[in-house]
Structure 1
Amino acid sequence: MNLKGKRISIIGAGKSGVATAEIAKSLGATPFISDSAKIKDKTVLEKLATLEIYCEFGGHTSKALACDLMVVSPGVSANAEIIFDAKQAGIIVWPEIELAYRLCRGKIVGITGSNGKTTTTALIGEIFKNAGLPTFVCGNIGNPFVAIAQQVPENGYAIVELSSFQLEQIESFKPDIAVFLNLTPDHLDRHDGLEAYIDAKMRIFENQKVGDVAVVNYDDQTLSKRCPEVKSRLVWFSLQKMLDDGIWATTEGSIFDGKTELMKSSDVKIKGEHNLSNACAAIGAALSAGISKDKLVEILKSFAGVEHRLEPVRLIGGVSYINDSKGTNVDSVFWALKAVPAPVILIAGGKDKGGDFSALNEMVIKKVKLVILIGQASDKIEATWSKLVTCIRADSMEDAILKARINSKPGDTVLLSPGCASFDMFDNYEHRGQVFKKAVWDLKPEGASK
């Protein structure tokens, strides 16, 4: 793709935006970054100055529209006024992954879904690496796709975690292997209702052709209804149905490829029913790429999961502290609660994404002894659960950990699984998880208070 001499406006100065600007400049384009927010991280400004990349912060001016191409970062809404103005002016508008796709010579495995994306993306990446394939894991996990796109050789794979934000504005982007894990209400604060959210996610299949592959969760009713219409080859996976052609498993039995047993379900190192489903999805992707059973089974037996997703942090005074900061929606909290032993002290809250917390009522009654609320969604969650379980407030993560310590006793699990976004109190979910872990490790090892 020839960008030489092109003027490219990049909307959003986060990790993706800065990476896009760097790549654009290296290809001979003239990038300009515009961000509606005021600059928080001075190192970003210093980096852009060093690279001689012009920028503006605190609002979009007419400078952002003086371009041949506009590239939008994932954090920017498709309904943003600057995007509307650009389209009205006839400017081509792409998401970052569209540009990355056009720069990538290798094959692409794209992973989307409401929950489990990061774990499954990392797992698929490890399986492909173990098979000796040039593998680059990117997207919402680690590096932006655009940062590594040109490094992927023709015989290599980009393993890309994809959000609805990234998919909603694609033009030609398509993965060779598309993995769709599940669908539950999420990001309703940004999308215009559930159907708009589903439509954005479904775009992962939009440009696929007959020779491509779609690995899809048979157990998800919405997906099982909508996915038979895709053009690519369908590979189903299921925990509920024995599939003659597909990947299926039982929690107490084995994982199968059709009628061929691959391994015992109990041998999958990452625990929980949701992770068994994620493992089946990863197997479907790996087998579709021609990876041998032995190579994928090796990784499934050793892969320990990812940071901030049901991550054991510390056992102190007989109380287990678990970091599930990646649990940013209601459904992810359900699976986290299902996976950990009761009684649970649950730390929840943050920036509300429009989720229905009453969907967790039965699980809360069954497993939670105390809810400690943080962030903007505290009122909403307390109104939903206060008649089911004791709910208390905390002013900070450190305060939440101290309150959890005071109210815990040996055998309890303290679980951070917020069910909300992090941006009201933290930079991102990683920052939230790091603050949680530091607060836990700052506890003195003298046993729980009760």
Structure 2
Amino acid sequence: MKTLTNFPYNKVLVLGLAKSGEAAAQLLYDSGIDFRINDRLPLEENETAKRFTEMGCDVITGKHPLTVLNDIDLVVKNPGIPYDNPIIQEALNRDLPVITEVELSYPLVEGPLIAITGSNGKTTTTTLIFELLQAGGFNPLIAGNIGNVASEVLREQKKDQPVVMELSSFQLKGTKTFKPDYAILLNLTEAHLDYHHSMEDYINSKLKIFQNQTNEDVAILNQLDSLTSSQQIPGNGKRVYFSVSNDSDSEITLTKDDQIQFRGNKLMSKNEVALPGNHNLENVLASIVIAKSFHISDEIIIEKLRTFIGVKHRLQFLERLNERLFYNDSKATNIQATSKAVRSFERPIVLIAGGLDRGNEFDELFDSFNNVTNCIVYGESKDKLYEAGKRKGFKQITITDSLVEATKKAYELSKPGDIILLSPACASWDQFPSFEARGDMFIETVHKLK
């Protein structure tokens, strides 16, 4: 496996382990670079820290003393650690560079790098691009927020082998030289303000995906997303726009008869695309731009789009039970994602929502409730959701304590022909360690309803 060479720093602090920290520490160890690990979990509960201790590494666990910065000239932090963390603040005060493992591993890139970000749709788009490249015979790798972390995947990348990488604002904020050959910004909407503290910081973090692009690179953008289109896009990448509007002048768009058209040539009808919803159509158009850039044939593209039905926890169809259709959209961790999910269906919807209260109000969510007949709320944000519904005149709201209880209540209140949709509009961390764990609990509960 590849290692770092000509590394310009003497000693590195790896702050926070988890998947990214472990991979970063392993890369530094294998590269013969001096580093220190600092993780909040005590050593007796921390198998990863134990392993690095046994390898002879400098490991401090259970607390975050400022002395961990002694002799350090670079900090590689877990993306989830906020910048108001005292260690990060002190590092910045000392003018120490603070990066994420995406930046640390970037020098290992040897082939085409495709990076995808956006408030919503990242995982679906990343997976679809990966599958299109795979069908086209390119033997791609997948990394970032999906699959293995960049520090692992880029070590395996062979020359000319594409890597498709999903990136969050948390990861991108900690980049400095990172430069993808193809950078996609799907959309921008209010999210993660508990971490970024302002929309300006959130947007600027997302836009870092373009900052180092040259005129040999490609920046792929959503022409219809109001926030995206209003930004001054950094870097010199060639701009390629996609749009689901039939009166758009984007390179890839829809015709008035709902045909997907790329640079004036019709490819297929939007009705042939297996993924439901206009928001997924945007993901599809962005993915086609990549497929066309790699000269994948129309036949392969069409076949893949006819059969690709998405990924787990992203508008995932579960099953039909007593004429009710169950969908798992646990990945919808913000209002915009849930609004798009609701608009993807024409049938009546019983919606399950709730989770971590990040301080935002939910009035905007209820504006999308044209076909929502009942809303079952649970978790830390349940009361706030209930009050927002009352303000917007939506009265069919039921408060529950847990996702299991909410699912059972949704089934009880539903009618034949209804869709029962978990699309929480909130993060999962009040009751679950991840949106995946939340979705798995929903799946298990639905199966038990039989």
Which residue in the other structure is 1:448 paired with? none
Q: Secondary structure at the residue paired with 2:113?
A: strand
Which residue in the other structure is 1:399 paired with? 405
Alignment of 1:102-121 (within 5 A): 102-121=107-126
2:337 to 332, 350, 370: 332
Does 2:385 match 1:381? yes
TM-aligned CA distance change 1:247 to 1:36, over 3 Å: same
State the Cα deviation string for residues 321-351 of structure 1 (Å, max 9, x = none). Answer: 1110000010110111111343222111111
TM-aligned CA distance change 1:28 to 1:354, over 3 Å: same
State the Cα deviation string for residues 70-117 of structure 1 (Å, max 9, x = none). Answer: 111111112322112123334332111101212222221110111100
Q: How far did residue 319 of structure 1 move? A: 1.5
Which residue in the other structure is 1:428 paired with? 434
Does 2:103 match 1:98? yes
Which residue in the other structure is 2:17 paired with? 13
State the Cα deviation string for residues 15-36 of structure 1 (Å, max 9, x = none). Answer: 1111211222122234433234
Partners of 2:383 and 2:291 lie apart in 1 by 44
1:213 to 211, 218, 228: 218
Which residue in the other structure is 1:24 paired with? 28
Alignment of 1:144-155 (within 5 A): 144-155=149-160
Does 2:301 match 1:308? no
Which residue in the other structure is 2:424 paired with? 418
Which residue in the other structure is 1:127 paired with? 132
Partners of 2:224 and 2:291 lie apart in 1 by 20
1:440 to 432, 438, 446: 446
8 A contact 2:383–2:399 mirrored in 1: no
Q: How many residues align?
A: 443
Partners of 1:215 and 1:193 lie apart in 2 by 25
Alignment of 1:34-433 (within 5 A): 34-36=38-40, 42-45=46-49, 47-48=51-52, 53-66=57-70, 67-227=72-232, 230-243=235-248, 246-249=251-254, 253-364=258-369, 366-386=370-390, 387-433=393-439
Partners of 2:226 and 2:362 lie apart in 1 by 21
Q: How far did residue 262 of structure 1 move? A: 1.3
Q: Secondary structure at the residue paired with 1:312?
A: strand
Q: How far did residue 132 of structure 1 move? A: 1.4
8 A contact 2:349–2:418 mirrored in 1: yes
RMSD between superposed Cα atoms in Å: 2.3
Q: Secondary structure at the residue paired with 2:208?
A: helix
8 A contact 2:75–2:98 mirrored in 1: yes
| TM-score in terms of structure 1 length | 0.92
Residue 281 of structure 1 aligns to which amino acid in structure 2? A
Partners of 2:126 and 2:366 lie apart in 1 by 30
Quote the sequence identity (%).
Answer: 35
Q: How far did residue 282 of structure 1 move? A: 0.5
TM-aligned CA distance change 1:434 to 1:30, over 3 Å: farther
State the Cα deviation string for residues 246-297 of structure 1 (Å, max 9, x = none). Answer: 1112596111112111111111111211111110001112223333333322
TM-aligned CA distance change 1:54 to 1:391, over 3 Å: farther
Partners of 1:390 and 1:282 lie apart in 2 by 38
Partners of 1:441 and 1:43 lie apart in 2 by 34
